[in-house]
Amino acid sequence: MHVSWDPAAPGVLLLPSGRLVRGRGLRHPLPAGPRPQFALHLLGRRPGPVDWDSQWLRWPDFWLPSDRTGFASALSTLLARAGNERVEVACGGGVGRTGTALACLAVLDGVPAREAVTFVRERYDRRAVETPWQRRLVANWDPAAP
């Protein structure tokens, strides 16, 4: 059975493939409605436990993922699970790291890398992908060779 997000719900990004992924900030209350079935947490330190399947990737605020290969693998897992589960990407504020991950995920799903930041800013959050090095990571993102 296919279970997904409401495409009109706050923070939900519709990818070109039709898959839906929710982005959010962990410092904000959990949104009303269904809970994720899988979450990718992008934080400088290990987050507390949640009631759903999750993966933590070390990524200090305003910087880049500590493990690029692990990041690429995590995005592949997230995209695959988004085909039939409610998945989310979350960092502290839900903008920089989350936006960067969503933009790289969009590239993985077929958006040209040079268009991915604009794609996410128009459809998720206008402030997404906050730093020059995060924008550079997206612009040069090659899922085959992180």
Structural domain harbouring 74: 16-139
Q: Domain of 67: which CATH number?
A: 3.90.190.10
Q: Summarize pLDDT for 48-83 with one digit per residue, the tens.
A: 899 999 999 999 888 889 898 999 999 999 999 999
Classify 66 as helix, strand or coil.
Answer: coil
**pLDDT band (50, 70, 90) for residue 1:** very low
Q: Is residue 5 assigned to a domain?
A: no
Residue at 100 is within a domain: yes
Residue 2 lies in a domain: no
Cα end-to-end span (Å), the chain: 33
Is 6 contained in some domain?
A: no
Tell me what the pLDDT averaged over the chain comes to: 93
Specify the pTM: 0.94
**Residue 60: inside a domain:** yes
Q: How far is CA 88 from CA 77, 108, 122, 140, 144, in A?
A: 12, 16, 18, 23, 22
Is position 129 within any domain?
Answer: yes
* C-beta of residue 24 within 8 angstroms of C-beta of residue 88: yes
Task: Give residue 3's pLDDT.
Answer: 73
Q: Is 90 exposed, middle or buried (0-12, 13-18, 19+ CB in 10 A)?
A: buried
For residues 130 and 146, give the distance between their C-alpha atoms in angstroms, rounded to a whole number: 20
pLDDT of residue 66: 87
Asked if residue 32 belongs to a domain, the reply is yes
Number of structural domains in the chain: 1
